[in-house]
Each structure stands twice: as C-alpha cells, then as structure tokens.
Amino acid sequence: MGNIPYSEKVMDHFQHPRNVGEIPDANGVGTVGNPVCGDVMKMYLKIANDIIVDVKFKTFGCGAALATSSMVTEMVKGKSIGDALKVTNKAVAEALGGLPPVKMHCSVLAEQALRSALKDYFKRQGKPVPFDDKEHTHEDEKCL
Ligand code: FES
C-alpha cells in the first residue's frame, strides 16, 4: 500500500476483508465504479422484512476501497434498511480509524455500492426508492 500512512484497522480489513464473495439469491445487487481510477465494487444484499440479513461484496480496486467495502458490510449486516441508509462514507472512514485525505474518495465508492444495491432492492420490489439516488461525480477527485 505504498508509503501512505494507514491505520491498523485499515490494514486489518485490507489484509483480512470480511464478507467477500457473492450471494446467489441476493435481492439487491449494485455495482459502482470510479471512472478516474477504474476501481469497481459490487455489493450483494439479502433483505428480509426490511433487515439486511446478509451482505457480501467484491472489489477490484485499491487497498482503501477494499478496506472500506469490508467495513461497510460489517456496519450494515443485521441492520434495518433505514439504519443502513444512515451509514455515510465518513462514518465508514471513522470506523476504520480514519483514512488519509487522498483516499477519502475510496470510501465514497463503498457508500455508493451500498446505496446502489439498496436501490436495486427497491426497484425489484416495485417500490419507489426512498432516498436521493443521484450519482456522485468524481470529476474533481484524483485517485492515487
Ligand atoms: S477507489 Fe480508486 S484509488 Fe481507491
């Protein structure tokens, strides 16, 4: 991970990511990519009675993207959809003991992947998406 100073928690989730994989019978799946660095994150949700009973992800990207996607799955597993929607990229970064400023955008990818999977869930249910789902732009963000 180069010479960027990462917290121990980031290194832990980078080296031992939680909830990696796919859920074959997921009822919410979202894929997001950062056009600048080309990193891609795919998130699978299994939701029953408004609760995220299982969550898995696959990330092809930098170490911070891997660590933040791992952490976001831990933060939303077992939670209600309402609580999951309150999880922001900043909360994910804080739970990891912080991210270097040049890597904060990687945590945005984790938040977006979660929201994209939730959006897919609502669409499959034929329900309106109860949050602002406009895409985040990365025009002014550099990936290092
Ligand atoms: S998400 Fe692309 S460098 Fe981190």
- Tens digit of pLDDT for each residue in 77-124? 999 999 999 999 999 999 999 999 999 999 999 999 999 999 999 999
The verdict on the CB of residue 99 being under 6 Å from ligand 1 is no
pLDDT band at 129 (very low <50, low <70, confident <90, very high): very high
pTM of the full structure = 0.91
Spacing, Cα 6 to ligand 1 middle (Å): 14
Q: Which residues are catalytic?
A: 37, 106
Q: State which residues form the domain around 38.
A: 8-124
138 domain-assigned: no
Check: CB of residue 92 under 8 Å from CB of residue 68. Answer: yes
Nearest ligand 1 atom to alpha carbon 103: 4
What is the pLDDT confidence band of residue 139, given thresholds at 50, 70 and 90?
very low
Half-sphere exposure at residue 131, Cβ-oriented, CA atoms within 13 angstroms: 19
**Does a structural domain hold residue 32?**
yes
Is 106 a pocket residue for ligand 1 (Cβ < 6 Å)? yes
Residue nearest to atom 1 of ligand 1 (CA): 106
Q: Is residue 26 part of a domain?
A: yes
* Residue 91 included in any domain: yes
**pLDDT at position 131 over 70:** yes
Domain total in the chain: 1
